Amino acid sequence: MRGKFVTLEGCEGVGKSTQLNMLKNYLETTRQPAVFTREPGGTPEAEAIRKIILDIDLSVSARVEALLFVAARVSHIENLLLPSINEGKLVISDRYIDSSFAYQGFARELGLDYVKEINKYAIENCLPDCTVFIDMDPEFSWRRQKGSVVSGDRMEKESISFHKKVYLGYDAVAKLYPERIIRIVPDIDKTVTHNRIIQALKSKGMIQ
């Protein structure tokens, strides 16, 4: 039996890591085994590519950046995502294809079609069953991020206008794929946000 593939998406500083930890705790407590992973990353070679992509001292062109994300994704899909999904597991990834749509397609202005095209052969039949988009005002999330980050990476050091474009990208993609992408408007209380995510994933039949 095919497993389930869930992804979490959102701009930097929206509390995605906190929500992933809370989801992990919930699944552990309710005895629902899950594989947690992230992009770029999830395999040794993809983690190595991640270091290049996020290296603050490298200047990487938009197209090279987009293709490096695809290369990392292929490794992730071949070695971790597809084998786990085919074994019937529940897989939860911190970011996936929608990050490429929002960051490279919109913020880097490569366009959605370009990003779709370069991901086509990489992704094949490995599309998420359900994506949680933490829909938070970029201005607010950006301030939170600035206040909490000590050493930024190459994406974090981008301007607020870049991060606003990322948000607009997510918004557009969520409108394009309303069956797959659930918008969760976060509350100031992280437990309220957590409960919203749990209810949404339950209603989509991803978890119990």
Rule CB under 6 A: is residue 99 a binding residue for ligand TYD? yes
Rule CB under 6 A: is residue 100 a binding residue for ligand TYD? yes
Positive or negative, the CA dihedral 69, 75, 76, 82 is: positive
Number of residues that bind ligand TYD (CB under 6 A): 15
Buried b (16+ CB within 10 A) or exposed e, 37-70: bbbbbbbeebeebbebbeeeeeeeeeeebbebbb
Question: Which is nearer to ligand TYD, 55 or 87 (by Cβ)?
Answer: 55
Residues 131/9, Cβ–Cβ less than 8 Å: yes
Give the x/- contact pattern for ligand TYD in 142-161, rule: CB under 6 A: -----------x-x------
Give the x/- contact pattern for ligand TYD in 48-87, rule: CB under 6 A: ------x--------------x------------------
Question: Which is nearer to ligand TYD, 41 or 196 (by Cβ)?
Answer: 41
Span interacting with ligand TYD, options 84-92, 98-106, 122-130, 176-184, rule CB under 6 A:
98-106
d(CA 190, CA 186): 7
Span interacting with ligand TYD, options 84-92, 99-107, 125-133, 190-198, rule CB under 6 A:
99-107
Question: Which is nearer to ligand TYD, 1 or 121 (by Cβ)?
Answer: 121
184-203 positions binding ligand TYD, by CB under 6 A: none
16-35 positions binding ligand TYD, by CB under 6 A: 16-17
Rule CB under 6 A: is residue 106 a binding residue for ligand TYD? no
Closest CA to 20 of 9, 29, 12, 11: 9
Rule CB under 6 A: is residue 40 a binding residue for ligand TYD? yes
| Residue 36: CA count within 13 A, CB half-sphere | 15
Residues 19/193, Cβ–Cβ less than 8 Å: yes
* Site residues for ligand TYD per CB under 6 A: 12, 16-17, 39-40, 54, 69, 94-95, 99-100, 103-104, 153, 155
